[in-house]
Structure 1
């Protein structure tokens, strides 16, 4: 655990206490992110992960679906603790493309983030969403998503939808805390910006939508399907927006 983040790992965030380590704390191999997100690095982890879905019938799982599912383990890690630290503790962690390392499990999935130091205090005017969170997007999320799309052909919207799913979930957790600081509302407002001040499109604009189905029930749906259903043994996720997935969820058990 990072001493500067000890106050963060309480209540619903306690499960993340060992997901971010300093370099001296990391036992075992640490893979630099700028090495992981190269053609060779991605091929290495995707080939390992493909073993979980290889069957006599499916010897080569769909590469786009594979990278989408693999990316979730990385994207969840780089959203939950770094964003929570920013919004709750005014602390920016060094999780940039050229500073971040990761530890992988036996399947090649990201288990932990490894950072060189504990970050820095940030002083951001109330309501300035871009100053808080755009550095994470530009310094890490954009380059890693660009690498995955270029190497596998998956659409970037599917990967940003994965980011948005975790981001929206985290904001919901933070808003449910007993006394969240105003910065949490700033974080929520990020999802209401279609574009940034310079005109750049915000890929986290309305990542989920709430719709009422024909039975009068409100469903929370992703904007874009993550295509995990293309992998053997997996089905549509619980908030898949595809009509077939929505219809299946409404069928009587």
Structure 2
């Protein structure tokens, strides 16, 4: 394996180069820094997501958090995923989130070390904090991560064909049906394809952005594409909206 600093430089070069085209426009605005470890607290997530959401005109806390989480994953997943692809791991608890006007924009990460962690172990504290902050089912936050992670594993072989075999192994490990402990993998089948010309890409779980009338359904929403059955739509919405019971709201710590 390359020395950690060499790995960090390679990851940053990929983020600034070929990967940048897949991440969209990085926002402008006033920069600020937050230790990523702090965002394992629901209160810290709520503060940032609420301030950002109100600036966007979103009133519903569920919409504020789910939409904010998509930018969180856009900042976190690429460096973490590239490190795993290169055989190491970015220790998220040591990283700093760079925000612009409270929107996650980039991750200031340390040199990767050690063996890659599985994403469930790596991300669970932040998923729990975001779910608690927005009174959302954790499945919504996992689905937001899986939507991007699925796209990443499709792009990795194009970055370096010599590492295509490793990319294929990571795809199975990250998106398999069961975790190594035998539990259902929360990132499994985050995206599916409906046959057609061209095939249509759909999320498995709704991100609940439709709760804001100005946003409505996204282009990959499973609710919008569901059969016109009231029971089907209600069932899908219950899965998306079901937050933790009031007596079990996690603070996001551990």
Counterpart check, 1:196 vs 2:163: no
**The one of 76, 97, 104 aligned to 1:110:** 104
- Three-state SS of the structure 1 residue aligned to 2:38 is helix
Decide whether aligned partners of structure 1 residues 218 and 102 sit closer, same or farther in structure 2, where only a CA change above 3 A counts.
same
In angstroms, what is the RMSD of aligned CA positions? 3.0
Corresponding residue pairs, total: 216
5+ residue gaps, structure 2: 24-29, 229-254
CA contact (8 A) 2:175 2:185 kept: no
Matches of 1:121 and 1:244 in 2, distance apart? 43
CA contact (8 A) 1:194 1:205 kept: yes
CA contact (8 A) 1:61 1:232 kept: no
Decide whether aligned partners of structure 1 residues 137 and 161 sit closer, same or farther in structure 2, where only a CA change above 3 A counts.
same
Matches of 2:114 and 2:14 in 1, distance apart? 14
CA contact (8 A) 2:64 2:134 kept: no
Matches of 2:87 and 2:216 in 1, distance apart? 39
When normalised by structure 2's length, the TM-score is 0.73
**The one of 89, 92, 98 aligned to 1:92:** 89
- How is 1:99-248 mapped onto 2 (pairs within 5 angstroms)? 99-106=94-101, 108-115=102-109, 117-120=110-113, 122=115, 132-134=116-118, 136-139=119-122, 141-177=123-159, 179-181=161-163, 182-190=165-173, 193-212=176-195, 217-243=198-224
What whole-Å deviation, never above 9, does each CA across 1:20-52 have from its counterpart, x for those lacking one?
A: xxxxxxx96421123234243123212211223
Matches of 2:22 and 2:107 in 1, distance apart? 11
CA contact (8 A) 2:142 2:187 kept: yes
5+ residue gaps, structure 1: 18-26, 55-59, 123-131, 248-253
